[in-house]
Chain A
């Protein structure tokens, strides 16, 4: 149980860290990284919750995998927007 608790707390800590970064930072790339850290935090909480019983809960794992797919595609899109947006700003200057 203590191991599960450790990962739960770690997950929540990562989530809070990411949220803080998303709110406080201004550079697009840093904010994208913050969102990813937040995501990792949630996924860690979910995996830790799945490990509470002897045989891990497969539903939670399926959810995490779906979440990862969403996170990857969203990150790719965000990076594209950030990079092109930055370039057009440089062009203007």
Chain B
């Protein structure tokens, strides 16, 4: 537990230190980010060898206590967060185009990591509200870094995020009024499927869906993610939207009464399919490169939502592993895609997709990173995206009554392929390439490639990874 606490406290104190000392030192953040990664890895080793642990902050007794809980999946998410944060920090410090050097990016990104780690470790409803607010405020401030033109989308993001928190909070208030507990483990033993519990769970779900930009509450995401600086877009798409998703998963798989979960599951799964199709369609149509990547986040979250909905409806723990594989694979692929897209558009001096004509010739590494990450989003074997999709499809293929869901997934895959190949095909049109405005930044391009290679590397360790994830999720 000490290691997990260190993973939470190191970024927090780094952020506070930077603010107090009025320093905006990138290398320092990279160093502390390395330390956080080490602490998170240690926590992962600890939890694998000696099982889940929990800690009562300030040694208060059970109903009053704020409890931190370290489960295998929590530890994995800590490592994942630290990895992405480190990678993006290196990019933000080194890239010529990122425009985050010596800005408030450094303390804010550390705060973001700290609040996200607190979210993974928390296990009571109100603590999640507080961490969600911290996460939201840090994320909005990061979006606003790209200057005044981003203030509009940032404000819209902030207001919707606040509204969503209050919808969630009303649900929490109803739960507390009904059962008198906030801790999720205590709640799990008490919940009954009555009217007030149903309303409370639906309110919490709606609030979290808006925060995670799950269809149909996703409209704020493309603008906010596309107008942020590149490093921030990568953090937002890879990490921030996964926080509320984690809470949603814990709520429904641990605390909710089974009847209620079975009843609500199909609704979420249908919303997931709709996200896949409509988000994908918007990604096919948009003229802007970063919007395309942002809409693909909306679409890909559809898979996760679908896995969650079906998991609730069929009460199939096997889908837990599929859900978390999606989260990991999507996080890595999306970090890669946003970094590549940001580099491409900054070097070309245009935000349009059409400016990418002939980029395989002018910037082969960045374009290759984009295509490789896209391959995992489509689910081409043997990538992490393929593994996740296979885990999701496997329990369905055996029974013919589940085939409509299979059709939904396959159609979604087709659309994903459509928007990835839309970019790749244009990039291979070498007859009349758009000349870049600047000399390409090789190092940044290879940095964008790194997570894409990791996501394909997941396939090499697929067997132990799936076994571990199946054992790790309760």
Using a CB–CB cutoff of 8 Å, the interface residues on chain A facing chain B are: 12, 15, 18-19, 22, 28, 31-32, 35, 38-39, 41-42, 45-46, 49, 52, 59-60, 63, 66-67, 70-71, 73-74, 77-78, 81-82, 84-85, 88
Separation in Å of the B141 CB from the closest CB of chain A?
7
B151 to chain A minimum Cβ distance, whole angstroms, is: 4
* Complex CA distance for A38 and B168, rounded to whole angstroms: 12
**Stretch of B29-37, B158-166, B315-323, B362-370 contacting A (4+ beta carbons < 8 Å):** B158-166
B148: contacting residue among A32, A45, A88, CB under 8 A = A88
Chain B residues in 8 Å Cβ range of A42: 166, 169-170, 173
B177 in contact with A49 (CB, 8 Å) = yes
**Cα-based distance from A78 to B158 in the complex (angstroms):** 7
B162–A74 CB distance below 8 A: yes
Residues in A with CB closer than 8 Å to B151 are 81, 84-85, 88
Cα of A31 to Cα of B158 in the assembled complex, Å: 11
Q: Interface code B140-175, partner A: CB below 8 Å = 1, 0 otherwise?
A: 110010001101101100111011011101100110
B137 touches A28 (CB 8 A): no
Contacts A15-B170, A59-B64: A78 and B162 contacting too (C-beta < 8 A)?
yes
Given A49-B176, A52-B177, A71-B162, 13 further pairs, Cβ under 8 A: A15-B166, A18-B163, A19-B167, A32-B159, A35-B162, A41-B170, A42-B170, A42-B173, A49-B177, A59-B182, A70-B130, A78-B162, A84-B148
In the complex, what's the smallest C-beta–C-beta distance from A66 to chain B, in angstroms? Answer: 7
Grouping DSSP codes into helix (H, G, I), strand (E, B) and loop, the A interface class, with mixed when no group exceeds half, is helix
A88 to B147, CA, bound (A): 10
Complex CA–CA separation, A32 to B161 (angstroms) = 12
Residue among A19, A32, A35, A71 having the largest count of chain B Cβ atoms under 10 Å: A35
A70-B133, A88-B151 known; A45+B170 contact, CB < 8 A: yes
B195 to chain A, nearest CB (A): 15
Chain B: interface residue total (CB-CB under 8 A): 31
List B contacts of A22 (CB < 8 A).
Answer: 159-160, 163
Q: Return A51 CB to nearest CB of chain B, in Å.
A: 11
Q: Are A45 and B158 in contact (CB under 8 A)?
A: no
A67–B132 Cα gap in the complex (Å)? 12
The interface residues of chain A lying within 8 Å CB-to-CB of B154 are: 81
Chain B interface (Cβ < 8 Å from any Cβ of A): 63-64, 126, 129-130, 133, 137, 140-141, 144, 148-149, 151-152, 154-155, 158-160, 162-163, 165-167, 169-170, 173-174, 176-177, 182
* Closest Cβ–Cβ distance, residue A69 to chain B (whole Å): 9
Sample 22 A-B pairs with CB under 8 A, ordered by A number: A22-B163, A35-B162, A38-B166, A41-B166, A42-B169, A42-B173, A59-B64, A60-B176, A63-B173, A66-B130, A67-B169, A74-B133, A74-B137, A77-B137, A77-B141, A77-B158, A78-B155, A78-B158, A81-B158, A85-B148, A88-B149, A88-B151
Contact A63 to B126, CB < 8 A, known contacts A28-B155, A42-B170, A49-B173:
yes
B162 cross-chain contacts in A, Cβ below 8 A: 35, 39, 71, 74, 78
List of B residues within 8 angstroms of A67 by Cβ: 129, 169
In the complex, residue of chain B having the shortest beta-carbon distance to the beta carbon of A38? B166
Smallest CB gap from B125: residue in A: A63
Cα distance A65–B459 in the bound complex, in angstroms = 48
Whether A35 contacts B148 by the Cβ 8 Å rule is no
Task: Indicate whether A35 sits within 8 Å of B166 (C-beta atoms), given known contacts A81-B151, A85-B151.
Answer: yes
List the 3 closest pairs (A to B, CB-CB), nearest first: A85-B151, A88-B148, A49-B177
Q: Chain B's nearest CB lies how many Å from the CB of A1?
A: 13
The answer to whether B169 and A74 have CB atoms under 8 Å apart is: no
Distance, CA A44 to CA B354, complexed state (A): 53
Q: Which residues of A sit under 8 angstroms from B174, Cβ to Cβ?
A: 45
B173 and A45 contacting across the interface, CB-CB below 8 Å: yes
Q: How far is the CB of B159 from chain A (nearest CB, A)?
A: 5
In the assembled complex, the Cα of A60 lies from the Cα of B125 at a distance in Å of 13
Output the least CB separation between A59 and chain B (Å): 7
Contacts of B170 in A (CB 8 A): 12, 15, 41-42, 45
Give the distance in Å from the alpha carbon of A60 to the alpha carbon of B162 in the complex. 20
How long is the Cα–Cα vector from A81 to B163 in the complex, in angstroms? 17
Residues of chain B with a CB closer than 8 A to A15's CB = 166, 170
Please, how many angstroms separate the alpha-carbon atoms of A38 and B203 in the complex? 14
Which of B133, B149, B154, B167 has the largest count of A CB atoms less than 10 A from its CB?
Answer: B133
Shortest Cβ distance from residue B280 to the other chain A in the assembled complex, whole angstroms: 26
Please name all residues of chain A whose beta carbon is closer than 8 Å to the beta carbon of B126 when the two chains form the complex. 63, 66
Knowing A59-B64, A74-B133 are in contact, say whether A81-B144 is a contact too (CB < 8 A). Answer: yes
Q: How far is the CA of A66 from the CA of B133 in the complex (A)?
A: 11
Task: Find out whether the CB atom of B155 lies under 8 angstroms from the CB atom of A73.
Answer: no
Q: Tell me the smallest distance from the CB of A63 to a CB of chain B, in Å.
A: 6
Closest to B155 in A: A81
